[in-house]
Structure 1
Amino acid sequence: MHLTIVHDGGSFPIEVDESMELGNLHALLELECEIPVARQVLLLNGRRLGGANESLSALGLKSNDALYIHDLQRHQPQSQPPAGATDPQLEAHRRQVLGNPQLMQQLAQTHPEIAEAARSNPQEFGRLVAQLRGQQQESARQQQMEMERLNADPYNVEAQQRIEEMIRQENIMRNMELALEHNPESFASVSMLYIDVVVNNTPIQAMVDSGAQATVMSLSCAERCGIMRLVDSRFAGEARGVGRAKILGRVHNAQMKLGDQILMCSFTVMEGAHINLLFGLDMLKRHQMCIDLKQNALVIGDKCIEFLPEHLIPRSEMDALVAADPPAGAQAPVAAPPAADAVQQQLPRQRATYAENVIEAVMALGVDREQAIHYLDAAGGNPDVAAGMLFS
């Protein structure tokens, strides 16, 4: 028998035998949910299950039913410390926050009042943290009540679809929580790969992109390198995509120095490109280069050209190359992904167009709608980053 167990922390599936006694199910859930048997209340379609020696089938449970588990202690008021005293756990938490500069920076963006209280007012910090936890618990309680209301009518197709969507979102959030815990680097922005090259005695920082079909140079870079006299205008055209850019032509053969090696390369010269030089797949294949991420280098034969560290990457360049439609015989440059800085500048302006399911995904973490939008604004519209801020 397949059951879905729903509790304050989310939901999870279990497989049990229909002849299992309810008391044994209570014991199993104690291990899964860490709620002692004495504090467990199990609900099926709003009806409390009782009779520790009764089998699950005798109690009316069927495969694919959703079973709700309540913790009696969660609804009991907890004793408060005397006025003016500081909760030792909260004080330890406050010191932990103060000792983590990255966490303090995120907190200052999402909850500036909590960050300020952490620095100067321990009592206010405790009050604000308790208020935030209360809001999260209330949001979880409202979600659970909605689940119970929807499950009260098992023959309502729309209600069952909504339950399925809520369970799916809970599973997604649980999966994201695991990612935040075990693979937090996946939520960080990834820098593009740049190397130092020299073209016609002119040093350039070139972006290496195996997803670009052709090697592309901007007009300003070609002029700086003094190779405009070599541009073959028969290969002129127009790049079309999100916008348009003029392709001026092609340099068929020019020297490029990488480290201590001299290579002969060809370039497509584009007007309006916001990147100096994009080293594409055509030259990577022609010179049998290998992008070695373990060594963090571009390997040419037995030589390694190290990629530039993040702080040396030219931030002023925004990758705006788009697919071109050149005349016969010309190769079309494939669009490179937009730079992270450009994306972060564009996303905050899309606040009014956040998809409802994106907002609901952040709200499912225990915040109200306004706070969810606030987190999305701080995260540049990225719900994964917003969740990372909330869980930090």
Structure 2
Amino acid sequence: MKVTVLTADERIVSLDVEPDELVENLKAILEVETQVPLAQQQLLFNGREIPNSSRLNAAGVGDNDLLMLVSARAASSPASAAPTDLGLNPDGSAINPIALIRHLRGDPNIMRQLQESNRELSQAISNDNVDLLQNILRQQHQQKLLMQQQRQREIDLMNADPFDVEAQKRIEEAIQQKNVDENWEAALEYNPEAFARVIMLYVDMEVNGFPLKAFVDSGAQSTIISKTCAERCGLLRLMDKRYRGIAKGVGQSEIVGRIHVAPLKIGKNFYPCSFTVLDQADLEFIFGLDMLRKHQCSIDLKDNVLRVGGGEISVPFLQENELPLHLHDDKRLEEPSSSGPSSSAVALHPPAPIHAPGGPVSSQDSNKRARTPQETQNDPKVQRLMELGFDRNTVVQALTLFNGNEELAASYLFGGF
């Protein structure tokens, strides 16, 4: 059978022995493995010492059990007959710290080991700092006691009643934590990039002749420009305030209007683009799914480029050092605020706009009564527009907005307005 022996210096020794092996024979093997003389060995099982004349199975030791080996001076040893000034008090402090310092400083091998393994203790000895030495010894003694208590709890846990619910719960927690630690170590070795921050996809674009860093986001339903960015690009004068509403995502933000068409330069080509204008200061420009689909764009992560127009234009995604500092903010990129929409999942649900007298919508159907959402729910037009890939609520709102005109509603849904 196999037994595991835990030594006082925290070494683990695994041995194959016979079940009826004498404890004295096991100690002789341990003397070779640990360099601890047999006469100074105390072998403990479940906190009780096993006498040398006992056999392992008679003492209750079974396969895969854990034994503890502690070293104690034999009663007949001359060193135990007289006290020494180099000993330690029960609290871990030195009985005679000055004598201990002199003894340690006189052994260059010990000092060299202390400099490598315990620099703080080495400095206290070199500087003859008695108070610091005593404090360090007490702290190390307390840490050793805590580790011994933890090991004893682990031993008690392994030898607990298998039908004890609390013991099983602790075993389950220990196994789960071990699995988590192993998974973490495997990730560090085989997938270290998972712990790095991912830079979002930005490309250089020009809106109405003004350069900006566009955030490419296929999770955003519409292309978005902030009110301040639209003003900087000279487009605020074209904003249609009838298209006010609410942008909903992880949070929500106010839609202040819509710019129906403006020139967008990607690479060397110009493309017509429509924007939803948000009154939100922490975003500038999001190139959303509506324009990605309209201009047949594809996100090529292998070549790290955005392809536009079916591949006729390719623009590289920007590296981190090419982005302005405010776009490096981890909170804005990775922890969207509850007060504004998430840039990665913006869903626009604008209500029916305010119809100004003689406006384009009212002049097209001024003699017809406005259709309510309830009247539009079961309209065959809804089904036909939903087959194009839009959800029911968006289709109903578009039909309500244009008083049931299916062509205008479809043009609106595809970003034609």
Q: TM-score, normalised by structure 1?
A: 0.52
- Name the aligned partner's letter for residue 153 of structure 2: E
Q: Measure how far apart 1:274 and its partner are.
A: 0.9
How far apart in 1 are the matches of 2:197 and 2:142? 30
Query: What's the C-alpha RMSD, in Å, of the aligned pairs?
Result: 5.5
Per-residue CA deviation, residues 142-166 of structure 1 (Å, 9 max, x unaligned), is: 5443332333332220221122112
Q: Which residue of 1 aligns with 2:350?
A: 326
Match for residue 178 of structure 2 among 153, 159, 170: 170
Q: C-alpha distance in 2, partners of 1:60/1:143?
A: 22
The offset of 1:258, in angstroms, is 1.3
TM alignment of 1:86-235, pairs within 5 A: 142-154=149-161, 155-235=163-243
Counterpart of 2:316? 306
Q: What is residue 277 of structure 2 aligned with on the other side?
A: 269
Q: Report if the CA contact (8 A) 2:43-2:70 is conserved.
A: no
1:87, distance to aligned residue in structure 2 (A): 7.5
Deviation by residue 1:167-202 (Cα, 9 ceiling, x = unmatched): 211221122123223332221211112111000001
* Deviations 1:351-390 (CA, angstroms, capped at 9, x unpaired): xxxxxxxxxxxxxxxxxxxxxxxxxxxxxxxxxxxxxxxx
State the 1:231 CA deviation. 2.6
d(CA) in 2 for partners of 1:280 and 1:181?
A: 36
- Which structure ranks higher in relative contact order (CA pairs < 8 Å, sequence separation ≥ 6)? 1
Among 250, 255, 258, which residue is 2:263 paired with? 255
Equivalents in 1 of 2:225, 2:396: separation in Å?
13
The 3 A distance-change label for structure 1 pair 243 and 183 is closer
Equivalences for 1:268-287 in 2 at 5 Å? 268-287=276-295
> Displacement of 1:311 after TM fit?
1.6
Q: Residue 292 of structure 1 corresponds to which residue in structure 2?
A: 300
Aligned length: 278
- Is the alpha carbon distance of 1:276 and 1:161 closer, same or farther for their aligned partners in structure 2, counting shifts above 3 Å? same
SS in 2 for 1:316: helix
Matches of 1:231 and 1:139, distance apart in 2: 69
For 2:185, give the aligned amino acid: E
Q: 1:231 to 1:172 in 2, by over 3 A?
A: same
Deviation at 1:268, TM superposition (A): 1.4
Give 1:68 deviation, angstroms.
4.9
Task: Give the one of 288, 308, 316 matched to 2:326.
Answer: 316
Q: Which residue of 1 aligns with 2:361?
A: none
Q: Which residue of 1 aligns with 2:24?
A: none
TM-score by length of 2: 0.49
1:370 maps to what in 2? Answer: none
SS in 2 for 1:274: coil
Report the residue type matching 2:214 in the other structure: A
Partner AA of 2:283 in structure 1: I
- Counterpart Cα distance in 2 of 1:138 and 1:210: 57
Cα pair 2:214 2:287 within 8 Å, conserved: yes
In 1, Cα distance between the equivalents of 2:187 and 2:139? 23
The CA distance in 2 between the partners of 1:43 and 1:147, in whole Å, is 15
Q: Which string of whole-angstrom CA distances, capped at 9 and with x for unpartnered residues, describes residues 202-249 of structure 1?
A: 101111122222221111111111222333333321235665421112
Larger Rg computed on CA atoms: 2
Q: Aligned pair in 2 of structure 1 residues 167, 134: CA closer, same or farther (>3 Å)? A: farther
- How has the CA–CA distance of structure 1 residues 217 and 42 changed in structure 2, closer, same or farther, with 3 Å as cutoff? farther
CA–CA separation in structure 1 for the residues paired with 2:48 and 2:294 = 71
The one-letter amino acid paired with 1:289 is C
SS in 1 for 2:228: helix
Change (3 A) 1:141 1:230: farther
Cα distance change on mapping 1:308 and 1:271 into 2, 3 Å? same
Determine the C-alpha separation between the residues in 2 that align with 1:150 and 1:195.
Answer: 58
The answer to whether the Cα contact below 8 Å between 1:247 and 1:268 also exists between their aligned partners in 2 is yes
Q: Where does residue 103 of structure 1 map in the other structure? A: none
Measure the CA separation in 1 of the matches of 2:185 and 2:141.
20
Shift of 1:310: 0.5
Paired position in structure 1 for 2:75: none
SS of the residue 1:160 aligns to: helix
Structure 2 unaligned segments of length 5 or more: list them. Answer: 1-5, 8-16, 21-32, 37-41, 72-102, 128-132, 352-392, 398-417
CA distance in 2, matches of 1:69, 1:225: 77
